[in-house]
Amino acid sequence: MVERRRRKKAAPRKPGKRPRRRRPRPGDVKGLAAALDIEPRHPGLLRQALTHKSAEQELGLLSNERLEFLGDSVLDLVLAEHLFKGHPDLAEGDLTKLKAVAVSEPVLAAIARELDLGRFLLLAKGEEQTGGRDRSSILADAMEAIFAAVYLDRGYRAARKLIAGLLGSRLEAIERREYEPDYKTLLQEKIQERHRSPPTYRVVAQSGPDHDRTFVAEARIGRRVLGSGSGKSKKQAEQAAARAALMAQE
């Protein structure tokens, strides 16, 4: 008689160790809610927040454009309140500058990438094939739509808590005037909308002693110089060159 093999018991999970989070997939509202640490009453709002306008006709869903409109105002109010209360010594102009950085596309897109938001988005095939899941403008718009969805679903306090939690140390750096956007990524996205190849960077000069070097870099498309900038490292110089290139195109 053949003896049956005994099944091995699964090893008990170590106390305090969370199960591995599943990989996000388009329209995964439960996964997004878990990533945001919220409990939505009306999951359909979050699903709409994930729906890009390109998928509206293809999938027969409402796009997130109206939510984006509302979320922009919710974000503005939350940050205006935070800065107003936290910096009673600052004038209106200074408060406006800080808020402009905090609500900017680079900041919102960076938060979205930390959440891996691109994998949750509902996009048309064409938009996905052209890199829509990692396009800063799409990610930033989706973040604003999410803020609106949480506001409508759970109220202002929940939206304020979510925004404060997501901005976190990044907002503190902005208030200390230490935050620097990733201009190279922004320039690459803008250039690739018009050209097939990304911009390149070249250090064209350096000066000063070894312990205090200053580098000058250029951002280029082929032989065409888009912008130049300087910094205390090659990385800083390239960022400055990308920033100059972006400003030249505005």
Q: Which residues are catalytic?
A: 72, 144
CB 46 within 8 A of CB 125: no
With the C-alpha atoms ordered 131, 47, 66, 155, is the resulting torsion angle positive or negative?
Answer: negative
Under DSSP, the state recorded for 23 is P
SS3 57: helix
Q: How far is CA 125 from CA 25, 31, 54, 88, in A?
A: 14, 22, 9, 49
Spatial contact of 107 and 101, defined as CB atoms under 8 Å apart: yes
In contact, 106 and 182? CB cutoff 8 Å: yes
Look-up: residue for tokens 């979320």? Answer: 71
Distance CA 157, CA 159 (A): 5
Q: How far is CA 46 from the centre of its chain?
A: 17
Instruction: Kindly state the DSSP code that residue 96 receives in the 8-state scheme.
Output: H
